Amino acid sequence: MTVTTTVSRPVAVQASTGSTTIPSTMKALYKHHAGPELKLDNARKVPTPGPRDVLIKVKKVGICGTDRHIWEWDAWAASRIPVGITTGHEFVGNIVALGSAVTRYQIGQRVSAEGHISPGTGYNARTGNAHIADGMVILGVDRDGCFAEYVCIPEENVWPVHESIPDHVAAVLDPLGNAVHTVMEAGVSAQNVLITGVGIIGLMAVTVAKAAGAARIFVTDVDPKRLAIARQLGAVEAYDARDTKWIDHLRRQTHNGPDVLLEMAGAPSAIDAGFQALRPGGTAALLGIPSKPFVFDLTNHVIFKGAKVLGINGRKMFQTWYQMEALLLSGRLQLDPIITHQIPMDKFAEGFRLMQSGEGIKVVMDVG
């Protein structure tokens, strides 16, 4: 890929920029080769918004598991990510330019965005299931993302951020929305809830489930630090998943198992144990993604157990976003124990190291 090295000069990107001048180039993290890591380009071209797009000056971004896959260049990333793409899909920023047909937003408005971009056509897109519509394009995966000073987003995907929500929280609405979607679809109010896997989204699910009225929350993981944070967030029991005696203990604490399983790990062993623990007639909501197909006891775990199984993908557009905002404004969510580090984007390599080592949980980078 050829990288532009011209000096940044202020230019007008669109007629609707108010008094704002926008440089022609910007800093951006991009996938520079078919291999590990990312590279910082100091002279990336600023995107030009189309008629129904907004241009956003990015303030903060979150590093997520998808970004780590891209950084490490695993089999999934190698099969999906185009070399040369600007990565990242979690952010908050301010609108600096409007396409000529944009009517809903104003320059200066603080916003985030739904990173699943639907064409708006087809059955699912037109019946309330745009998050699983055909032709879906994902920010930072299929098109240039937000690990940059500027990002271009379709008007339909922009989400205005309430003034009471701080930037470091607004930068991670995307994964929080995954947790909210999973919890709300499962229906946890007055229920005993088991969460298998308390990584970033699993920990978010703990505080969301508590805020949504779960009776008691039980969690499993193999990381003592994350198990301790889960207790801090409201879990009554935090089990080491490697000791299978936890299943019998949980059954004794409940009516032969939890009412609800929220599966966040994606590990075959976690999925199997979670379904073993689930009470007959219980509900399982699955967000974790296994790295490859595996053998699963459908007969005993689902059919004979009479379990209700829900597959969860992304966030409902935009029901989940309204639910998320309501929960944040209620003051009942605890996210600061999960957002462990905030660093400048120039130190991006350190951010990924923190995630890989387990020292960091949710890492937020300051862009500008």
Q: Which of 20, 25, 48, 69 is catalytic?
A: 69
Distance of alpha carbon 28 from alpha carbon 244, whole angstroms: 45
In a domain, 90, yes or no: yes
Q: Which of 25, 66, 86, 182 is catalytic?
A: 66
Same domain, 164 and 15: yes
Same domain, 196 and 300: yes
Same domain, 165 and 189: no
In a domain, 45, yes or no: yes
φ, ψ at 116 (rounded to 5°): -90, 110
Mark whether 20 is an active-site residue: no
pLDDT recorded at residue 266: 95
Residues 6+ apart with CB under 8 A from 182: 201, 205, 262, 264, 285, 287, 312
User: Domain count of the chain?
Assistant: 2
Residues 6+ apart with CB under 8 A from 299: none
Same domain, 85 and 192: no
Enclosing domain of residue 181: 177-311
User: Partners of 151 in the beta sheet?
Assistant: 56
Same domain, 344 and 259: no
Distance of alpha carbon 112 from alpha carbon 94, whole angstroms: 8
Mark whether 17 is an active-site residue: no
Nearest to 172 by CA among 70, 59, 77, 49: 59
pTM of the model: 0.93
Same domain, 168 and 184: no
Same domain, 166 and 37: yes
Per-residue pLDDT 10s for the chain (368 aa) are 333 323 333 333 444 666 678 999 999 999 999 999 999 999 999 999 999 999 999 999 999 999 999 999 999 999 999 999 999 999 999 999 999 999 999 999 999 999 999 989 999 999 999 999 999 999 999 999 999 999 999 999 999 999 999 999 999 999 999 999 999 999 999 999 999 999 999 999 999 999 999 999 999 999 999 999 999 999 999 999 999 899 999 999 999 999 999 999 999 999 999 999 999 999 999 999 998 899 999 999 999 999 999 999 999 999 999 999 999 999 999 999 999 999 999 999 999 999 999 999 999 999 98
Token pair for 13: 């990107």
End-to-end distance of the chain based on CA atoms, in angstroms?
A: 26
